[in-house]
Amino acid sequence: MFDYDTRLLKGDRNGINEAASLLSKGELVAIPTETVYGLAANALNPGAVRRIFEAKGRPQDNPLIVHISDIKDLKPLVTEIPDNARMLAQKYWPGPLTMIFHRSGLVPDEVSAGLSTVAIRMPSHPVALAIISKAGVPLAAPSANRSGSPSPTTAGHVLKDMAGRIPAIVDGGESPVGVESTVLDLTGDVPRLLRPGGITPEQIRAVTGELVIDSAVTGRMEEGTVPHSPGMKYRHYSPKAKVILVKGSREAFTAFVNSKKGEGVAAMCFDGEGQDLQVPFVTYGGRNDPAEQAHRVFDALRRIDEIDARVVYCACPEPDGIGLAVYNRLLRSAGFEVVELDE
C-alpha cells in the first residue's frame, strides 16, 4: 500500500494549492511548520487520520494535534474555552503552543486516540497557515518522522523517513524553532505542562500565574502508570546509535569522551568545543545558546547516523527556557541514561 512516487512541492502558491487539493481527497501531505514538519490529514476524516498512524508506524493510543489557521475554528472543536486558553491564544497564537481542551463531537475518535480531550494549535509558519486555510478544514498532524526517529526539521529529513509512503512533501525550508510545540493541558484546575517546547514555562506563567510541570517532562514514566500525555511513554527521537547524555564542563566532557575513544564512538557537543576531542563529532549550537540548540538538535541526531556511530556521548544542555525542551528531547533519545561528571 505504500507505493507512492513522493513529490516535493514548493511552498509557493502552486504547491499550496496542490497540497490542499490532496488533503481534501483524504490524502496525506507533509507540511512545514515553525517547529518541525508535520504529517497532515483532514482532521475531520477518520479514514485519512488512520492513514497517518499507518504511514508513521505510530502506536494507536497516541493522540494527534489538530492545526487551525483562524481562532474562530477553535470553538466548534471543543466544549469550552477556559479563560487561560483565551489569554494564551491571544498572546502566543499563531505559534509553538498546543493546548488541550475537552473535545466536541466534531472531533473523530481517531484523532484523540479515544481520549475525551483534543490537542489544538495554530502554527505560525505562513505556508502551514496557507495550506490549512486553503484546505478549509482543520488538519491533524504529528511530526512527519517514522515513529521513534528524530523529528524532521527539513523536507530532506521527511523524504528520508517517508519516501514512498506519502504522495507529497511541501518544502518550506528549515523549521526555525526546531523542537516541537509546548503541550499544555488546560482541562484541570491548574495548567499543566505536558511537553516543553517553543513557548517556555516562564512565558506561560506570565499569562496564567500558575503552572504545574508534569513529572514526565524530566523524569522517566513509572512502569504501569497512566501518563497525562500518551506520547511521553515512548522511546523517542533516537538515532540508530545509543545516546548517552553527559553533564559537565567542556574540559570534563572532553577528558571523559577521550577516555572512551574507540571503534564506533562519537560525540555531540557544543559549537567550538570539539577541537580537542579524539573521536568524530557533530555540534548542535553554542553552550549558552539554547535557541540555536533547539534549531539544530534533531538535525545533529540525524547526522550521527551518517557517521555510523554506535555510541554517541552528548554534552548535556542547561534545562532553562527553551533549553528545557532540548534537554527533554535528548533525555528521551538517551533512554534517560545520564552520566554526571565530578568537576
Where along the sequence are the contacts to ligand TXA (CB under 6 A)? 33, 35-36, 38, 62-65, 96, 98, 100, 112, 115, 117-119, 121, 123, 141-143, 180-181, 183, 194-195, 229-231
Residue 333 as a binder of Mg ion (CB under 5 A): the answer is: no
The residue among 295 and 329 lying less far from Mg ion, judged by its C-beta, is 329
The residue among 34 and 273 lying less far from ligand TXA, judged by its C-beta, is 34
CB of 140 to ligand TXA, least distance (A): 9
From ligand TXA, Mg ion, none, which one binds at residue 325 (CB under 5 to 8 Å depending on kind)?
A: none
The residue among 97 and 316 lying less far from ligand TXA, judged by its C-beta, is 97
CB of 14 to Mg ion, least distance (A): 29
The residue among 303 and 329 lying less far from Mg ion, judged by its C-beta, is 329
Closest residue by Cα to residue 193 from 274, 84, 69: 84
From Mg ion, ligand TXA, none, which one binds at residue 183 (CB under 5 to 8 Å depending on kind)?
A: ligand TXA
The residue among 68 and 304 lying less far from ligand TXA, judged by its C-beta, is 68
Number of alpha carbons in the 13 Å side-chain half-sphere of residue 5: 0
For helices 290-306 and 323-333, the axis angle rounded to 10 degrees is: 20
From Mg ion, ligand TXA, none, which one binds at residue 84 (CB under 5 to 8 Å depending on kind)?
A: none
CB 314 within 8 A of CB 239: no
CB of 99 to ligand TXA, least distance (A): 10
User: Residue 101 to residues 105, 118, 134, 193, 217: CA-CA distances in angstroms?
Assistant: 13, 5, 25, 13, 20
Q: Which strands, in side-by-side order, build the sheet including 182-185?
A: 7-10, 168-171, 29-31, 38-42, 139-140, 65-67, 117-121, 97-102, 182-185, 192-195, 212-213
Residue 143 as a binder of Mg ion (CB under 5 A): the answer is: yes
CB 177 within 8 A of CB 295: yes
DSSP single-letter state for residue 57: T
